[in-house]
Amino acid sequence: MTSAVPSYDAALWATSKAFHDASRPHLLDRDHSLVAFNERVFSWATRTDVPVLERLRFLCIVSSNLDEFFEVRAEPHLTAQRSDDRQGTYTVDSFERLSEALHQLVDRQYALYNEALLPTLQENGIQLISHGERNPAQRRWVRQYFLREVRPLLIPVGLDPAHPFPQVANKALNFIVRLSGHDAFGRSNEIAIVKVPRVLPRIIRMPDKLSGGKAIFVALTSVIRAHLDDLFLGRKVDQFSQFRVTRHSDLSVDEDDVQNLRTALRQGLAHRHYGEAVRLEVSASCSEHLAHFLLKQFDLPQQALYRVAGPVNLVRLTQMIDLVDKPELCFSPFRASFPRRLDAATGIFDQLKQKDILFHLPFESFDGVLAFLRAAVNDPNVLAIKQTIYRAGTDSVMMDLLREAVRKGKEVTVVVELKARFDEEANINWAEMLESIGAQVVYGVVGLKTHAKMLLVTRREGNKLQRYGHLSTGNYNARTARLYTDVSHLTADAALTMDMEHVFVHLASQSRLPRMQKMWLAPFNLHSNLVRKITSLAQAAARGQSSRIVLKMNALTDVDLIDALMQAGRQGVKIDLIVRGACMLPARVPGVSDNIRVRSVIGRFLEHSRVFYFRQGAQESLYLSSADWMNRNMVRRVEVAWPVTDPEQRQRLIDECLLAYLHDGVDAWDMQADGSYQLASHNVAGGHSAQAALMARYGAERPARGKG
């Protein structure tokens, strides 16, 4: 097992000039912190104690993460490189350092793929075979497959003044070919492009009769490259390479200048696939001539070229995982229990009148959320349902329930965030469907993303209206609820549900908010209340009072909050930060952040819950939130944080979401003073895994774990 993420040198971790002042220590670089996070995810692919198909899946996850990194984060670095800018936040130097780190990670991915994962898969009867490894019968089958399924969809384009370089979509598979000889008109134009349609599967399983009892696969790239000559009759293929270009894809719409946001976003989606090129991937064997031609075509510097010893899109290897029926090579299936504090035989609303209910996903199932909404839909006394939607996915039971609620005559209001990155199209489709059947659909506030996760039910009980609410740190997405750790909170608390009502009215009418009783709301007071809370504990610590902060989140990059935490640490507050991904706060720096520890837990499930704990003397407070501590969450999004005041439930969250992770000795990485991360030191002797312990506690069944 890898025991440490390779340390970057001091220059790599230098912060931008914007942070260089006498009052603030250098902060860690956000983009390099994201690369380091992906190094930690990559470590799971290297672990021999992890089943081999899951190792391959983690390798694919890293590739997917890097795709999004390039699509969203690379463009300003490239802009600085092209302008020869050596000042400011993004510079030539930052581009070069980032490129070096990314190249190293990609090289390690493909080395692991070729030298460890493919041999281990072969030992377990799974092979991805090249043209040279195929026997005559297999070659005949592949040729027939090519002629029947692939060739009819390929149209090679020979480049000349009448046939310029074709538009190449973001992350699409293509081939570039250098030809000798002359075309049908006697011309010697030598470059051709073959675009591979997305509808073709990238991994194909061969028939059992040709596999000798093994699971044998061929890659689409291998099928095409073996038959490139068939596409160019009368010409000879001298050189070729697969290639893929990644484009800047962070969809941007000027909301102040559009009449209809939904229409503008749908139009923008059509152009997303053809944004500015930011990365070029080619085969490791690609000639310098072809590589230079492509770099020039896409206006990219040499550092943006990635030569890979395998498929240019490792993400597509997940198709092979899905086609293999070998459960012993995967994690044993985990079946979450129905939320144990929710009695399925008793009415949910009656239960909530007695006590709030929390459940911990994915260890307890999303069925608890669906049960709450289903009860509201089927209860004739429920008059109104209001809900925010950030990522619902393309196939949603929750959307079907909302549709049923409309059909039953309930007032349904849905705040759909159309700008949820890479979920825009699905959300637009849901919005149009709900509008078409009579639901009230609103899109939040111009200039802000609605990231809060809320579901509010209004029910007539006698001569009064009673509200019941659901708040969550995660999305209303049944699929990700099986993969992400999150906390769901069902409540009938009058003050908290009134706050929720105020937020929904604000999002629909954009009227002023009244004073909130319990909830903190971005962009209004969430940021300031967090700073005030931290400052209060710092002042208490300076007076000699015992003070403690433990925070769990996905990212920590907001400079003001980092400053407040570092100042509190210097005043004597003991601070533990459980930050899964990017963290710009440098921990354990002598004289600067001695009292602050940062750790990242990377496990089978994606850590996603946001839990904020503060203690001053004997007085404790704990908040759940939809927000990470990033500037965008504090000032450019609608986010909520709310207190958990019941002592028993608060202690449960402390035990399961904080203490369990602070004592994790298997999946936790601790930040060192130089910004690098080291795997928890007592891992070698065995130890506690927070996620494994929670799976054991809540799993509906506990089968033996697969190996391979």
Which residue, among 72, 71, 70, has the nearest Cα to 98 in the 3D structure?
Answer: 70
Helix (H, G, I), strand (E, B) or coil at 600: strand
Strand, helix or coil at 333?
coil
Which pLDDT score, from 0 to 100, does residue 663 have? Answer: 94
Rg over CA atoms, the chain: 27
pLDDT reported for residue 87: 65
The answer to whether residue 136 scores a pLDDT higher than 70 is yes
User: Is the pLDDT assigned to residue 16 strictly greater than 60?
Assistant: no
| Mean pLDDT, residues 525-532 taken together | 98
User: Given pLDDT bands bounded at 50, 70 and 90, which one contains residue 176?
Assistant: very high
Confidence check: pLDDT of 705 > 60: no
334 pLDDT exceeds 60?
A: yes
Using alpha carbons, list the distances in angstroms from residue 93 to 14, 32, 674: 11, 13, 19
Give tens-digit pLDDT for 382-438. 999 999 988 877 667 888 999 999 999 999 999 888 765 656 677 777 778 888 888
- Which of the residues are catalytic? 451
How confident is the model at residue 161, as a pLDDT? Answer: 74
Contact call for residues 96 and 84 (beta carbons, < 8 A)? no
270 pLDDT tier (thresholds 50, 70, 90): low
The CA distance from 599 to 437, in Å, is 48
pLDDT band at 221 (very low <50, low <70, confident <90, very high): very high
What's the pLDDT score for residue 25?
66
In this structure, the answer to whether residues 570 and 668 fall within a common structural domain is yes
In a domain, 232, yes or no: yes
Q: Mean pLDDT across the stretch 631-647?
A: 95
In a domain, 335, yes or no: no
Contact criterion met (CB below 8 Å) for 661 and 668: yes
CATH at residue 574: 3.30.870.10
Q: How far apart are CA 58 and CA 45, in angstroms?
A: 5
Q: 353 and 320 share a domain?
A: no
Q: Write phi, then psi, for 606 (nearest 5 degrees).
A: -80, 120
Q: Which two tokens stand for residue 186?
A: 């006697």
Q: Residue 233: its pLDDT value, please?
A: 87
In contact, 601 and 554? CB cutoff 8 Å:
no
Burial of 700 (0-12, 13-18, 19+ CB in 10 A): exposed
Q: How far apart are CA 623 and CA 51, in angstroms?
A: 37
Question: What is the C-alpha separation between 320 and 338, in angstroms, rounded?
Answer: 31
Rounded to 5 degrees, what are φ and ψ at 166? -70, 160
pLDDT band at 21 (very low <50, low <70, confident <90, very high): very low
Residue 337 banded pLDDT, cuts 50, 70, 90: very high
At residue 193, the pLDDT reads 96
User: Does a structural domain hold residue 119?
Assistant: no
CB atoms within 10 A of CB 606: 18
In angstroms, rounded to a whole number, what is the distance separating the alpha carbons of residues 282 and 241? 6
Q: Is the pLDDT of residue 631 over 90?
A: yes
Its pTM stands at: 0.91
Torsion sign over Cα 351, 356, 362, 366:
positive
C-alpha distances out from residue 9 to 6, 17, 593, 596, 673, Å? 10, 18, 20, 22, 12
CB 287 within 8 A of CB 240: no
The residue among 517, 550, 566 that closes a domain is 517
Dump pLDDT digits (tens) for 25-41: 689 999 999 999 999 99
% of residues, the chain, pLDDT over 90: 75
The three-point CA angle 62-702-337 to 5° equals: 85
140 pLDDT more than 80: yes
User: Residue 702: pLDDT above 90?
Assistant: no
Chain length of the chain: 708
* C-beta neighbour count of 211 within 10 angstroms: 16
Upstream peptide bond of 523 is cis (omega within 30 degrees of 0)? yes
Contact 86, 93 (CB under 8 A): yes
The answer, yes or no, to whether residue 149 has pLDDT greater than 70, is: yes
The answer on 382 and 435 residing in a single domain is: yes
Residue 626 is predicted with a pLDDT of 96
Regarding whether 438 and 309 lie in a shared domain, the answer is: no
- Do 587 and 610 lie in one domain? The reply is yes
- The number of domains in the chain is 4
Residues 77 and 135 placed together within one structural domain of the fold: no
Asked whether residue 473 falls in the same domain as residue 563, the answer is: no
Q: Which domain-ending residue is among 329, 362, 380?
A: 329
Is 2 contained in some domain?
no
Which tokens go with 607?
């850590």
Residue 706 has pLDDT above 90, yes or no: no
Give kind and range of the element (H or E) at residue 359.
strand 357-361
- Domain match, 105 and 175 both: no
- Higher confidence at residue 408 or residue 21? 408
Q: Which two tokens stand for residue 620?
A: 């404790």
For residue 447, the model assigns a pLDDT of 78
pLDDT for 390 equals 83
Q: Kindly state whether residues 242 and 224 are assigned to the same domain.
A: yes
Measured CA to CA, the distance from residue 646 to residue 621 in angstroms comes to 10
For residue 394, give the DSSP letter. Answer: S
Question: Which pLDDT score, from 0 to 100, does residue 5 have?
Answer: 41
**Neighbouring C-beta atoms of residue 389, cutoff 10 Å:** 28
Q: Confidence band (pLDDT; 50, 70, 90) for 682?
A: low
Same domain, 60 and 21: yes
Judge whether 313 and 198 are in contact, CB under 8 Å: no
* 581: in domain: yes
Most confident stretch, 20-24, 335-339, 433-437? 335-339
Neighbours of 130 (CB within 10 A): 13
Q: What is the CATH number of the domain that holds 82?
A: 1.20.58.310
Dist. CA 174–CA 43, nearest whole Å: 30
pLDDT score of 683 = 47
The domain boundary, picked from 301, 329, 357, lies at: 329
| C-beta of residue 328 within 8 angstroms of C-beta of residue 215 | no
Model confidence at 164: pLDDT above 60: yes
Q: Would 590 be classed as within a structural domain?
A: yes
Both 386 and 492 in a single domain? yes
Asked whether 491 and 479 are in contact (CB, 8 A), the reply is no
Q: Phi and psi at residue 239, in whole multiples of 5°? A: -140, 150
pLDDT, one tens digit per residue, over 76-131 is: 899 888 888 776 778 888 889 999 999 999 999 999 999 999 999 999 999 999 99
What average pLDDT does this structure show over 155-184?
89
Q: Which of 41, 39, 16 is nearest to 97 (CA)?
A: 16
Reported as a pLDDT band with limits 50, 70 and 90, residue 7 is very low
Pull the structure tokens for residue 42: 């990559």
* Residue 619 in domain: yes
In this predicted structure, the answer to whether residue 493 has a pLDDT above a threshold of 80 is yes
Check whether residue 276 and residue 228 sit in a common domain. Answer: yes
Residue 121: predicted pLDDT: 98
Q: Which CA distances in Å does 388 have to 171, 264, 471, 594?
A: 31, 21, 10, 41
> What are 56-76's pLDDT values in tens digits?
999 999 999 999 999 999 998
The range of the structural domain enclosing residue 243 comes to: 125-329
Is residue 594 a part of any domain in this protein? Answer: yes
One DSSP character per residue, 237-254 reads: EEEEEEEEEEE-------
What is the spatial distance between Cα 659 and Cα 653, in angstroms, rounded to a whole number?
9
Is the pLDDT at 607 greater than 70? The verdict is yes
Q: What average pLDDT does the structure give for the chain?
A: 89
